[in-house]
Amino acid sequence: MKKIIISRLFLYRYRFIIGYIVLGLAFIALLFSLPGFAQTGLSEDEMRSATSSYYLGKSGILNGDLVDLPYRVLQKFSIMIFGLSAYSVKLPSILAGLVLGLMLILLLNRWFKSNVSLLASCLIVLSTPFLFLAGSGTPLIMIVFWPTILLWLGSKIQGEKRPKPLYSFVFAIMMLLSILTPYMIYFAIFCVFFVTIQPHLRFIVKDLPKLPLILVGLIIVAGFAVLGISIYRHPDTILQLLAAEGFEMGNFFPNIIKGFAPVFAWHGTMEGVFLAPLLSLPSFALGLIGLFSTTKGFFASRNSIASMLLLFCVIITGFNPSAVVFIILPFSILMAHGLKYLLEKWYGLFPENPYARISALLPLTVLFGIMIVPGLLQYIYGYRYNPNVADAFSNNISIIRRNLTNQTLLVQKNYDFYKMLEDSTELKIVNEFDGKSDVAVMGNMNVSHENLELSRIITSPRRDNSDIIYLYTYTEKGE
């Protein structure tokens, strides 16, 4: 009788819907408030990305400037509409993070039961590496973005007896756009290789209707033809798509060691933009449990995909240590496997005892509290106060906007980046100065002139090198 009453309760019947709604609202609120409380300012990589995006033009695209094109176009419009600020630079990643989080939730919900997918979704979209990607104004998030979308679309095609041509069409478009992101050509090769060696997927592809296959093939061939023409005209494009700038084959294994160092740095901190540990120890342990649980029935597509993605992560990290963030995708799948394994083992101990099954809520709540809350606090306070990572971010833009109105600002380092301020402020940005008017100087540069007197120094809250802007007043002096 009690079981029937409980099953009729509103909260019980709609528990998963309510859970996803609460997760979604918390996730959206957290994403759009990221620039306000963590990663305060912009890193050198974000400045370079914003500069490259802002000065992107039609001639550049036609001349082969295609690397990270979808992200750079979005970032260019963001800066043009909202002006140069930390928020406008990061907004494309926030929007990409919103879609990425949704795709991860949908992907896990397609492969696992609702209870497992909801819990795993909470762990991954509220984790430090995911929030870092969504709050970083660089195209790095696209390394995770494209494979997640392609996997979800592939699962939709795989799960239908007669898949809709629309899914195949969208899959082809996403595949085409993805190859403009570095290392995604390897992922396209990886997809073909995985489908070839995986018996179940190979059978599904052979059984697909001819129209979707032909459609996908034509779109992908046309896209690669356009890319091939661009590469023929500008050979540097293929080098940027296949490996990081300045990559040497002798650095492949050192890059892997450097890239995975933040993953295993559970004691102490590391310099750079990644807050160590990249994965918390409980999350890593849960992922290992999931990895071991997939050894049984390994050749099922969803069991082997995570292991193959881990291998792919190792390979692209050899080209660029920052690409280690791709580990978010395989570990989200492995954590879901780990949760599934733990829940099945617990329920298997008490198959007929509802009280014992319900009692699992307490240790699960404690486990999730240990994994989520410290991770959020680490992200929020680590990027603000940890000197090893906080010093990698500069809040110069917000300081300039608060303290300068219509002055001349003398800048030498990152001149093209600060030059963008002229379009949204009354400032005049120069890299040379004749010493005949008032001037604000970025950094402690030598601007000694007999008619210039230092009137004010604008500082930042940083511990070191906090003197950001020097204000000089021009005064005529008689001979």
Which amino acid is located at 416 in the chain?
D
What is the dihedral sign for C-alpha 309, 310, 312, 313? positive
Output the six-digit token pair for 13: 């019947």
Closest CA to 67 of 314, 234, 225: 234
Q: Which residues contact 295 (CB under 8 A, 6 or more apart)?
A: none
Q: Which residues pair with 467 in a beta bridge?
A: 459
Quote the CA–CA distance of 133 and 144 in Å, as a whole number.
9
Quote the CA–CA distance of 342 and 121 in Å, as a whole number.
16
Q: Which residues contact 437 (CB under 8 A, 6 or more apart)?
A: 408, 474
- Contact present, 103 and 150 (Cβ < 8 Å): no
**Domain extents for the chain?**
15-390, 396-474
Quote the CA–CA distance of 454 and 472 in Å, as a whole number.
4
CA distances from 5 to 11, 15, 25, 355 (A): 12, 15, 30, 15
- Contact present, 376 and 29 (Cβ < 8 Å): no
Which amino acid is located at 428 in the chain?
K
pTM for this model (two decimals): 0.86
Check residue 2 and give its pLDDT: 47
**Sheet order of strands, 408-410 included:** 428-430, 408-410, 439-442, 467-474, 452-459
- Contact present, 451 and 436 (Cβ < 8 Å): yes
Check residue 373 and give its pLDDT: 82
Instruction: Convert 55-79 into a string of H (helix), E (strand) and C (coil).
Output: CCCHHHHHCCCCCCHHHHHHHHHHH
Check residue 7 and give its pLDDT: 54
Check residue 139 and give its pLDDT: 92
DSSP string, 265-297: --SS--SSSS-S-SS-HHHHHHHHHHHHHTTTT
CA 135 from centre of chain: 8
Quote the CA–CA distance of 405 and 245 in Å, as a whole number.
38
Closest CA to 375 of 452, 265, 280, 474: 280
Check residue 146 and give its pLDDT: 93
> How many residues are recorded in the chain?
479
Quote the CA–CA distance of 219 and 376 in Å, as a whole number.
42
- Contact present, 172 and 215 (Cβ < 8 Å): yes
pLDDT 10s digit of each residue in the chain, 479 long? 444 555 565 555 666 677 778 777 878 887 877 766 666 788 888 999 999 999 887 776 666 678 888 999 999 999 999 988 888 999 999 999 999 988 988 888 888 887 788 888 888 888 888 888 888 889 999 999 999 999 888 888 766 666 666 777 788 788 888 888 888 888 888 887 777 776 666 776 676 667 666 777 777 777 777 777 777 777 777 778 887 766 777 888 888 888 888 887 765 555 567 777 888 888 888 888 888 887 776 555 666 788 888 888 999 998 888 888 899 999 888 888 888 888 888 777 777 666 666 676 677 777 777 888 887 888 888 888 777 777 778 888 888 888 888 888 888 888 889 889 888 888 888 888 776 778 888 877 766 667 778 888 888 877 777 788 888 887 776 54
Check residue 6 and give its pLDDT: 53
Quote the CA–CA distance of 435 and 439 in Å, as a whole number.
8
Helices (H), 198-280: 199-207, 210-233, 236-242, 252-264
Check residue 144 and give its pLDDT: 92
